[in-house]
């Protein structure tokens, strides 16, 4: 299941898993965005209207997909296999094995100056929404004692001082922290948590934010390459995957600069 799969990185990942023969659920507020795409033709892909900021809606969509998925209830959960309480109980809702959250909102100071209503959704989606999704998926996965949760954060979340984009940066920092907290909490249930921390990826949304051309962004990665790298990190079950390394190194260097030099960059 991919929440935020109706465009960009999420849609690329949906295509990747569909080509591998997986059953894929794509969620977003605007499912009509992918009407007519080839991956909808063979019945392996389902599309669900869902706003990740709506906790009840996320729980419903995740629960329904997990209950319907082939394999749901097929296996007793690993912790229940022996003499633990609930041993041998076959629990519905066990069919979800991978949840990827790519849903995200961006607003910088200029956007907030134009419309103050843009600030809160950044937090409701990037922070609250991620927790809604992980919480609902964990519920389904814990019953089986296996699963994998993935979130796409941003290298902006590693940057201590992000002029103009500090709200987005803080929201992605919180997303990384949410992943770390869930990883620790769910480890006893054999549920892995991966946080992907990318730099600039040449998606339609990034181009839209940059007047149609993102080519000036440092160490820009194509959407296709980003999808391949993210899928590989998921397959390895990495805890954290930061790329590209060049931008990561630059951010680490920038974080170490004295304040007066950081101010030069702000100008
Ligand atoms: N592109 C980059 O350079 C870059 C770099 C670092 C991190 N990221 C992160 O990577 C993720 C994907 O970015 P992208 O460039 O692929 O952007 P995108 O094409 O705009 O993808 C965002 C997806 O999130 C969905 N979404 C937004 N708000 C939602 C909500 N309230 N509920 C459910 N779905 C929602 C959108 O679908 P609907 O409109 O249908 O809801 C869309 O499918 C984002 O989290 C972004 O912050 C991107």
Write the pLDDT tens digit of every residue in 62-102: 999 998 866 554 443 333 333 333 333 333 434 899 999 99
Query: Where is pLDDT greater, at 175 or 67?
Result: 175
Q: Which of 59, 104, 224 to mutate to test the pocket of ligand 1 (most atoms within 8 A of CB)?
A: 104
Q: In the structure, what pLDDT confidence band is assigned to residue 263 with cuts at 50, 70 and 90? A: low
On whether the CB atoms of residues 91 and 156 are closer than 8 A, the answer is no
Q: In sequence order, what DSSP letters do the residues of 165-185 get, joined into one string?
A: -HHHHHHHHHHHHHHHHHHHH
CA 56 – CA 44 distance, rounded (Å) = 25
CA 58 – CA 132 distance, rounded (Å) = 7
CA 188 – CA 16 distance, rounded (Å) = 29
Write the pLDDT tens digit of every residue in 112-129: 999 999 999 999 999 999
Specify the DSSP class assigned to residue 103. -
Domains of the chain: 2-69+92-266 (3.40.50.720)
Q: Which residues line ligand 1 (CB under 6 A)?
A: 3-10, 28-30, 33, 50-53, 102-106, 125, 129, 152, 154, 198, 200-201, 203, 205-206
Q: Whose structure tokens read 């059953």?
A: 23
Non-local (6+) Cβ contacts of 97 within 8 A are: 71, 141, 146, 147, 148
At 83 the pLDDT is: 37
Rounded average pLDDT over 190-197: 98
Give φ, ψ of 10 to 5 degrees.
Answer: -65, -45
∠ Cα 139 148 169 (to 5°): 95
Write the pLDDT tens digit of every residue in 19-65: 999 999 999 999 999 999 999 998 999 999 999 999 999 999 999 99
Ligand 1, atom 8, residue with closest C-alpha? 154
**Please, which residues bridge with residue 196 across strands?**
152, 241
Ligand 1, atom 26, residue with closest C-alpha? 103
Distance 214 CA to ligand 1 centre (A): 16
């Amino acid at each position: 299941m991919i929440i935020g799969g109706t465009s960009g990185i999420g849609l690329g990942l949906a295509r990747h898993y569909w080509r591998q023969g997986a059953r894929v659920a794509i969620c977003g507020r605007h499912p009509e965005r992918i009407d007519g795409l080839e991956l909808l033709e063979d019945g392996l892909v389902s599309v669900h209207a869902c706003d990740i900021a709506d906790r009840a809606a996320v729980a419903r969509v995740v629960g329904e997909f997990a209950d319907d998925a082939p394999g749901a209830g097929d296996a007793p959960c690993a912790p229940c296999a022996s003499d633990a309480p609930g041993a041998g109980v076959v629990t519905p809702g066990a069919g979800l094995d991978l949840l990827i959250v790519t849903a995200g909102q961006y607003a910088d100071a200029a956007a907030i100056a134009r419309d103050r209503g843009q600030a809160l959704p950044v937090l409701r989606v990037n922070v609250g929404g991620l927790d809604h999704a992980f919480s609902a998926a964990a519920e389904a996965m814990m019953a089986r004692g296996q699963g994998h949760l993935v979130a796409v954060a941003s290298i902006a979340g590693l940057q201590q001082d992000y002029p103009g984009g500090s709200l987005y940066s803080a929201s992605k920092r919180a997303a990384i922290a949410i992943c770390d907290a869930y990883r620790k909490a769910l480890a006893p249930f054999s549920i892995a948590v991966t946080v992907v921390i990318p730099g600039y990826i040449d998606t339609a949304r990034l181009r839209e934010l940059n007047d149609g051309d993102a080519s000036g962004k440092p160490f820009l990665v194509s959407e296709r390459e980003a999808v391949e790298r993210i899928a590989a990190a998921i397959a390895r079950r990495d805890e954290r995957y930061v790329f590209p390394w060049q931008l990561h190194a630059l951010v680490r260097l920038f974080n170490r600069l004295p304040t007066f030099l950081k101010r030069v960059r702000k100008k």
